[in-house]
């Protein structure tokens, strides 16, 4: 029996050496690694240009970086749940992650609107600066914590346009009684200057404009507007933007699901969201450029600024809306105070850097 | 012996089951995984604000995401090699990765300059759009392939300032004979309008300005300029920028080292560079904002635009420099043609979107 035991122990040792911890010899632990399958619900049609591409890119990044240990299945609007149920679905854990726009959740937390866009607020560059180096992200996480959600920035569209108008806007009077599809804080501002904001989903815009059910609509910008064919619904006036100067999207992750992941997969999610946050914006920059050329050169669209007095009235109304929102909700007030303090500084700096550069590059003094 | 063999085989089977492939039960292969230790050489002092923070952030991202399988040790300028030897060091494989600025390598490939910044060229938003969705990155990879290098965008400073001048610049005449520290294509432009570009490293700026060895210097922007104390060297005029409207940094990876990595670690490097590319820019946005306030409020610095006729002369000279560079090198010509075509479109779009928005936000018509 002594020979038996010795032989056995020898094999036991050899086998353990063959499958155990190799860190001392340039390898890391080969403990069996758990795999995860996550559901990602979105508020966009599957693979919708820009908005819908971001969650697909994210899922690919995560699957490759995790060597297949975290697989993410992406569901378009309505495939698992309707787009407006993304927040609740991820909050409950029925899906582990979602991609959407925070301003849809103003009924849950009014301050959520701040993390998409504010009329006459910060553009993409500025918002990302505030979010990641100005305390914004911490406040957003605090806001979503009671819902068991962790938010991450999830892409940016750049400056959105003011939208498509069936009649030329020559003065503030032309906004009185104007039936316009416009959501969020922009809708509140339009109301203040006499307009009538209408709530419509993207899919309803074309026919509503064509039928005359609405007089005007905003959507995103040249890239998405062109793909919806908004320029074909009638002869329109296309105006440059004021109400969503850099609309930021969001990834929301169920906190319990996130905390159940090992540290490397948590890091993979964090870094992938940062990468997608820029990737979407890069795509919009290039695609808006192409789409604007097509709108101008092929379809004869002429994008123009709104008259100065209209902009002035919208600016005043926007300031009032932000005061009212702050007065109505202390959390809104606290987060907006941080946002606004950052904006006051960075907007001055961008006047003399970015804006001055835009002016000088073209030689328009 | 039958009993012995049976017992042995049983243990053998149990042991293999305990350490083998678990993919069928929600786990992935536990094959021993190789670890890698990479050296990252940079052109910046270790932990230099902004520029030097990016490679540290990158190394942390990669180590966490790879669960320690890819460890990256970051070397500051001169710690392993001098900053200007980053390209050769990574090309040879003596270090696997580097973080630097592509315009330092114009002696290797003149077109490398295009991937940092071009006078009156694209800003950070536009450059990133061209790079990732306009064909830029593919051209950059082709340019660096003969050197066994793969480039990735590695951060952006935003619009750099024109710099610090000891005398007020009132007309083009004031640039004649002006001894100014300015590198790259900006130096060529200054020469054309009668100035004398001087090559100095960052560490020499303060004393050179103070001693009068130079009349003016550019560096980066408020964040880095303030930390160098440039405002203290003398009474200066600080002008807004034209020559580096969004300076992009680079990660360069040794191609052989990259290809020796498994696919998940390759993906981790790719996605981490994208995340750092935005992270640095976010940091600059916030830090330039803070630094500008300090310069204005505490140090009485007044940043102003250069006079219109000076800007006009610099614009004309810049166009000539780009023509000369294109004429001298067919690769430069090909890449700049792509860059310029993208700029022509996107700059028109940004006039009516970003620039119009900056104007309307402040109510300066």
**Chain-chain contact of B358 with A355 (C-beta, under 8 angstroms):** yes
Residue range B264-275: average pLDDT? 98
Residue of B nearest to A16 (CA): B15
Q: Does an H or E element contain B276, and which? A: helix B263-293
CB of B363 less than 8 A from some CB of A: yes
Indicate if A280 and A205 belong to the same structural domain: no
CATH number of domain containing A213: 3.40.190.10
Give the structural domain span for B121.
36-158+246-285
Indicate if A168 and A72 belong to the same structural domain: no
CB of B300 less than 8 A from some CB of A: no
Residue range B283-290: average pLDDT? 96
pLDDT(A40) > 80: yes
Q: What is the pLDDT of residues A83-96, one digit of tens each?
A: 999 999 999 999 99
Q: Name the percent of chain B in helix, strand, coil, to the closest 5.
A: 55, 15, 30
pLDDT(A14) > 90: no
CB of A298 less than 8 A from some CB of B: no
**A31: pLDDT confidence band, cut at 50, 70 and 90?**
low
List of E strands, A82-204? 97-100, 149-156, 163-165, 179-181, 196-198
Chain-centre distance for alpha carbon B315:
24
Residue range A336-358: average pLDDT? 96
**Chain-chain contact of A16 with B12 (C-beta, under 8 angstroms):** no
Using alpha carbons, select from A230, A83, A262, A129 the residue that is nearest to residue B279.
Answer: A129
The whole-number pLDDT of residue B13 equals: 39
Q: What is the interface pTM, i.e. ipTM, of the complex? A: 0.90
pLDDT(B7) > 50: no
Share of chain A above pLDDT 90, in %: 84
What is the bridge-based pairing of β-strands B216-217 and B163-165?
Answer: antiparallel
Lowest-confidence region among A183-192, A254-263, A355-364, B148-157: A355-364
**Domain-located, residue A364:** no
**Domain-located, residue B215:** no
Indicate if A204 and A216 belong to the same structural domain: yes
**Domain-located, residue B356:** no
pLDDT(B18) > 80: no
**Domain-located, residue B169:** no
**Chain-chain contact of A278 with B277 (C-beta, under 8 angstroms):** yes
pLDDT(B38) > 70: yes
The whole-number pLDDT of residue B10 equals: 40
Q: What is the pLDDT of residues A198-239, one digit of tens each?
A: 988 888 899 999 999 999 999 999 999 998 888 887 678 999
Q: What token pair was written down for B247?
A: 């300076």
CB of A269 less than 8 A from some CB of B: no
Residue range B298-317: average pLDDT? 94
**Chain-chain contact of A240 with B356 (C-beta, under 8 angstroms):** yes
CATH number of domain containing B279: 3.40.190.170
**A364: pLDDT confidence band, cut at 50, 70 and 90?**
low
Q: How far is B265 from chain A (nearest CA, A)?
A: 7
Q: What is the pLDDT of residues B118-175, one digit of tens each?
A: 999 999 999 999 999 999 999 999 999 999 999 999 999 999 999 999 999 999 999 9
Are A339 and A121 in contact by the 8 Å Cβ rule? The answer is: yes
Indicate if A196 and A318 belong to the same structural domain: yes
**Domain-located, residue A356:** no
Number of domains in chain B: 1
Q: What is the pLDDT of residues B165-207, one digit of tens each?
A: 999 999 999 999 999 999 999 999 999 999 999 988 888 899 9
**Domain-located, residue A63:** yes
A64 contact residues in B (CB cutoff 8 A): 263-264, 267
**Domain-located, residue A10:** no
CB of B35 less than 8 A from some CB of A: yes
The whole-number pLDDT of residue A193 equals: 98
Using alpha carbons, select from B80, B147, B82 the residue that is nearest to residue B112.
Answer: B147
Indicate if A152 and A170 belong to the same structural domain: no
Indicate if A116 and A44 belong to the same structural domain: yes
**Domain-located, residue B137:** yes
Mean pLDDT of chain B: 91
């Amino acid at each position: 029996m002594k020979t038996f035991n010795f032989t056995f122990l020898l094999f036991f040792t050899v086998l353990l050496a063959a499958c155990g911890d190799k860190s001392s010899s340039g390898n890391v632990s080969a403990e069996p690694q758990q795999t995860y399958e996550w559901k990602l619900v979105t508020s966009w049609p599957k693979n919708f240009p820009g908005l819908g591409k971001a969650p697909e890119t994210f899922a690919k990044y995560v699957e490759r970086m995790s060597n297949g240990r975290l697989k993410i299945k992406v569901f378009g609007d309505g495939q698992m749940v309707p787009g407006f149920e993304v927040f609740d679905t991820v909050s409950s854990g029925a899906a582990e992650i979602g991609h959407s726009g925070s301003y849809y959740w103003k009924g849950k937390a009014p301050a959520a609107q701040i993390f998409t866009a504010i009329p006459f607020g910060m553009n993409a560059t500025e918002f990302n600066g505030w979010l990641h180096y100005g305390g914004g992200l911490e406040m957003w996480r605090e806001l979503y914590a009671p819902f068991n959600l962790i938010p991450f920035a999830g892409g940016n569209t750049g400056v959105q346009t003011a939208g498509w108008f069936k009649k030329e806007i020559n003065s503030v009077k032309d906004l009185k009684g104007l039936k316009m599809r416009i959501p969020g804080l922009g809708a509140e501002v339009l109301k203040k200057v006499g307009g009538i904001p209408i709530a419509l989903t993207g899919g309803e815009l074309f026919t509503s404009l064509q039928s005359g059910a609405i007089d005007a609509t905003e959507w995103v910008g040249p890239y998405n507007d062109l793909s919806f064919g908004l320029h074909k619904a009638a002869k329109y006036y296309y105006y440059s933007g004021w109400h969503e100067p850099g609309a930021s999207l969001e990834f929301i992750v169920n906190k319990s699901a996130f905390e159940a992941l090992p540290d490397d997969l948590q890091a993979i999610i964090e870094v992938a969201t940062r990468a997608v946050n820029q990737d979407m914006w890069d795509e919009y920059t290039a695609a808006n450029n192409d789409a604007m050329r097509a709108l101008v050169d092929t379809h004869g669209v002429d994008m123009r600024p709104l008259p100065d007095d209209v902009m002035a009235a919208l600016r005043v109304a926007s300031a009032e809306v932000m005061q009212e929102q702050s007065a109505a909700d202390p959390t809104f007030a606290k987060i907006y105070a941080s946002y606004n303090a950052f904006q006051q500084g960075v907007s001055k700096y961008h006047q003399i850097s970015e804006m001055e550069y835009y002016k000088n590059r073209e030689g328009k003094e």
